[in-house]
């Protein structure tokens, strides 16, 4: 799964340059402790600089430039006119769309100062949303009080934000006003770094959830991103001494720093939020961090709207810390329909079977969310075949495969005689996650056959009645392609949705023919007619 | 005959007037004058109150619209101080605006163009208000934006 960082206009480009630099600094630090992990992060992020002005992209690598509106602007800029920028985007719509199509997650960065950013920020977000991308727009509202722009342009920036609200597209709104403090004046570069660092650092957390493995499913992210309102990104580094736990003060300070970000517009209580903790310390520390964040999110409210989604890598190289993508609570919203891809994911590092002259680090770490403190990572060189490791459940094995654990990869590549049990409920849950699709490609044919057999033997699937396009049909009458459209076009009850998504996953992983091998149980007629009525109502 | 009857009528009227006590006449005139004065004062007060209401409504709406884009990031916090100064006799209202602590807008020292733009923006939003702006000026920390009640063309005798 790759994330596209797309800037628009001069201001957005400056922010992206800064984020890129900060992310690279992080990568350099990660490189020292885990080169493969660093490589994985590096390949998971792509940057593109969209602009109407060729000159402002002079220092950007050619392959990262995305110039729009040749006819409209002759690549000389939008003349500080958002309308011209909008037309330029319209002119180059195909080019931009083809870039967006390669990435399921788009972090869009722009400022509302002058022409290109102000004119294209919203249409770009809308374009990404229409293409069922998970889009996180980062929009900077410039300061007129401190003479960055005049009031007219500031008001235009407000209109852009209104457009996001009207279209129910959540965004991060950074308020440049908050970067000026008469009591504690700071150089502009310091302020910008403070504004941008949380974004750069939070990328690691987001990447972990999207392309690694996690207790947080992409569907949870679809819920987090649904509805209008604002996001806030928080980050705090926690740097305990080697082999030691972070102190109480460090935990307190990090939680506070992660929660507070005075640069962001965030006026409502916190709703669904993604909290990613990275660091090799005990679960007691995790619990304290989560508790502090929850206390700050709840505040003095009688009923808290805060719903944390915790993501916890079992192994993460330094720099460690906690990142938080917090969404304002603006009511309950249906999850967004995001087209999570199957093919454009980052390929995992080379398997153990390939001849690697250099020693490959083996990381033996506790499973995700282990109830006891995870042991410190043990590093060793692989020369002989890997020592047999036990994975008590199939999920544990998959987690191991996903983090390129050599022992897990060895079992996954063979595994015909493995005694690891496959639990049906666990398998169904795994099939619903995006990261498992990457794991699936690493599993041998016997593993795949075994999984499919378990699904087929689990008993008949209720033959639900669903809406497919304009007609109503039972799910066994639908083709794989039609099935795929059902959850996108219709709001389904949870039970029906689960079954439909199972069939889609089977069709995706084993092929459309595998769906036909399931047996379907006819539902009672009364129930059928009731459900048909309810589906029509849901449309 | 005719002349005789007219003279008789006049004589009868004179006799009637002679019989009326002049004190009552004076009281009557006084009461009449008081009634007229009360009526006029009432009209004046009513008009004045109407003008004041008009000015207050306009002033409050003006401040609200002026303020609106500035408080979006934290709606619970006001970012400007405001006052209204009325002069109903001259049909004039003055809106006084000043930045709150920690803020710099509005001021005329370095934000005159922005304040002028904002006044225009607010008046456009208010869609043809009955007041016209006059040149603004600074008074201490306040920016004073004077408005004059627009004279009704009919009242001005314009045809």
Asked if A154's CB is within 8 angstroms of B110's CB, the reply is: no
Would you call the peptide bond into A293 cis, given omega within 30 degrees of 0 as the criterion?
Answer: no
Asked if A265's CB is within 8 angstroms of B72's CB, the reply is: yes
Best residue of A141, A144, A171 to probe chain B, by most B CBs closer than 10 Å: A144
DSSP letter for each residue of A327-389: EE-----PPP-----SSSSPPPPPPTTS--SSPPP----PPTT-SSPPPPP------SSPPP-
Min distance A160 CA to chain B CA atoms (Å)? 13
What residues contact residue A427 under an 8 Å CB cut-off, 6+ apart? A394, A451, A454, A455
- Range picked from A186-190, A232-236, A298-302, A357-361 for highest mean pLDDT: A232-236
Mean pLDDT computed over every residue of chain A: 81
Closest chain A residue to the Cα of B104, Cα to Cα: A145
Reported as a single tens digit per residue, the pLDDT across A476-496 is 888 888 888 887 777 777 778
Closest listed residue to residue A10, CA positions, set A114, A93, A91: A114
Can you list the pairs that B97-101 forms with residues at least 24 positions away whose Cβ atoms lie under 8 Å?
B97/B63, B97/B66, B97/B142, B97/B143, B97/B145, B98/B141, B98/B142, B98/B143, B99/B141
Reported as a single tens digit per residue, the pLDDT across A434-457 is 778 778 888 888 888 888 888 888
Chain A partners within 8 Å of B117 (Cβ): 150-152
Query: Which DSSP symbol is given to A178?
Result: G
Least confident of A130-144, A209-223, B17-31, B120-134: A209-223
Cα(B96)–Cα(B141) distance, integer angstroms: 9
pLDDT value, residue A284: 93
Closest chain B residue to the Cα of A159, Cα to Cα: B69
Asked if A267's CB is within 8 angstroms of B69's CB, the reply is: no
Cα(A408)–Cα(A412) distance, integer angstroms: 6
Q: Which neighbouring-strand residues pair with B139?
A: B142
Closest chain B residue to the Cα of A174, Cα to Cα: B73
A158 vs B72, B105, B118: nearest CB: B72
- Count Cβ–Cβ pairs < 8 Å, chain A vs chain B: 33
Reported as a single tens digit per residue, the pLDDT across A176-185 is 888 888 888 8
DSSP letter for each residue of A452-507: HHHHHTT-PEE--EEEETTEEEEGGGS-HHHHHHHHHHS---HHHHHHHHHHHHHH
Question: Does B120 touch chain A if contact means CB atoms closer than 8 Å?
Answer: no
A151 vs B76, B102, B114: nearest CB: B114
Is the pTM higher than 0.80? no
Asked if B75's CB is within 8 angstroms of A267's CB, the reply is: yes
**pLDDT band at A18; cut points 50, 70, 90:** confident
DSSP letter for each residue of B84-148: EEEEGGGTEEEEEEEEPTT---S-HHHHHHHHHHHHHHHHHHT-S-SEEE---EEETTEEEEEEE
Give first-to-last CA distance, chain B, whole Å.
56
Question: Does B75 touch chain A if contact means CB atoms closer than 8 Å?
Answer: yes
Least confident of A73-77, A154-158, A192-196, A227-231: A192-196
């Amino acid at each position: 799964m790759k994330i596209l960082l797309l800037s628009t206009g001069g201001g957005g480009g400056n922010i992206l340059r800064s984020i890129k630099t900060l992310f690279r600094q992080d990568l350099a630090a990660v490189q020292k402790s885990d080169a493969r992990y660093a490589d994985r992060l590096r390949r998971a992020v792509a940057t593109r600089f969209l602009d109407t002005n060729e000159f402002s992209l002079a220092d950007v690598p050619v392959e990262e430039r995305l110039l729009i509106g040749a006819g409209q602007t002759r690549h000389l800029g939008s003349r500080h006119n958002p309308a011209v920028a909008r037309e330029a985007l319209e002119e180059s719509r195909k080019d931009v769309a083809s870039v967006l199509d390669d990435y399921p997650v788009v972090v869009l960065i722009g400022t509302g100062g002058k022409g290109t950013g102000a004119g294209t920020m919203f249409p770009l977000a809308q374009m990404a949303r229409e293409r069922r991308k998970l889009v996180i727009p980062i929009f900077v509202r410039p300061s007129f009080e401190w003479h960055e722009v005049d009031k007219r342009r500031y008001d235009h920036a407000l209109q852009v934000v209104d457009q996001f609200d009207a279209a129910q597209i959540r965004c991060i709104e950074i308020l440049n006003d908050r970067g000026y403090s008469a009591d504690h004046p700071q150089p502009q570069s310091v302020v910008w770094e403070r504004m941008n660092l949380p974004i750069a650092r939070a990328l690691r957390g987001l990447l972990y959830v999207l392309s690694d493995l996690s207790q947080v499913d992409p569907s949870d992210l679809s819920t987090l991103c649904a509805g209008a309102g604002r996001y806030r990104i928080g980050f705090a580094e926690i740097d305990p001494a080697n082999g030691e736990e972070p102190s109480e003060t460090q935990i307190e300070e990090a939680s506070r720093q992660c929660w507070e970000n005075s640069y962001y517009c965030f006026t409502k209580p916190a709703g669904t939020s993604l909290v990613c903790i990275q660091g090799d310390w005990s679960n007691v520390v995790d619990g304290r961090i989560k508790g502090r964040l929850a206390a700050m999110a709840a505040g003095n409210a009688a009923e808290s709207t805060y719903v944390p989604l915790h993501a916890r890598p079992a192994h993460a190289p330094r720099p460690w810390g906690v990142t938080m993508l917090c969404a304002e609570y603006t009511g309950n919203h249906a999850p967004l329909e995001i087209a999570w891809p199957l093919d454009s994911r980052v390929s995992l590092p080379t398997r153990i079977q390939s001849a690697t002259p250099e020693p490959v680090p083996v990381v033996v770490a506790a499973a995700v969310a282990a109830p006891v403190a995870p042991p410190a990572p043990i590093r060793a060189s692989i020369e002989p075949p890997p020592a047999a490791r036990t994975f008590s459940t199939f999920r544990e094995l998959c987690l191991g495969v996903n983090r390129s654990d050599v022992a897990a990869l060895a079992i996954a590549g063979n595994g015909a005689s493995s005694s690891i049990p496959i639990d049906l409920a666990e398998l169904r849950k795994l099939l619903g996650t995006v990261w498992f699709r990457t794991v699936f490609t690493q599993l041998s044919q016997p593993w795949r056959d075994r999984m499919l057999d378990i699904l087929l033997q689990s008993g008949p699937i209720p033959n639900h009645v669903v809406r497919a396009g304009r007609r109503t049909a039972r799910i066994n009458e639908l083709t794989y392609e039609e099935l795929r459209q059902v959850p996108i076009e219709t709001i389904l009850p949870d039970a029906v949705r689960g079954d439909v998504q199972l069939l889609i996953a089977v069709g995706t992983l084993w092929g459309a023919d595998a769906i036909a091998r399931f047996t379907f149980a006819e539902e009672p007629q009364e129930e059928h007619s009731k459900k048909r009525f309810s589906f029509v109502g849901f449309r | 005959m005719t002349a005789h009857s007219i003279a008789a009528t006049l004589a009868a009227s004179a006799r009637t007037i002679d019989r009326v006590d002049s004190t009552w006449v004076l009281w009557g005139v006084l009461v009449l004058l008081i009634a007229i004065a009360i009526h006029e004062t009432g009209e004046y007060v009513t008009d004045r109150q109407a003008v004041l209401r008009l000015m207050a409504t306009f002033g409050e709406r003006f401040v609200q619209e002026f303020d609106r884009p500035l408080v979006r990031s934290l709606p619970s916090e006001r970012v400007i101080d405001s006052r209204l100064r009325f002069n109903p006799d001259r049909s004039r209202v003055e809106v006084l605006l000043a930045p709150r602590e920690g803020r710099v807008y509005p001021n005329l020292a370095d934000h005159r163009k922005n304040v002028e733009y904002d006044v225009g923006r607010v008046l456009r939003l208010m869609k043809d208000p009955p007041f016209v702006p006059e040149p603004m000026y600074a008074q201490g920390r306040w920016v004073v934006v004077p408005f004059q009640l627009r004279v009704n063309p009919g009242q001005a005798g314009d045809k």
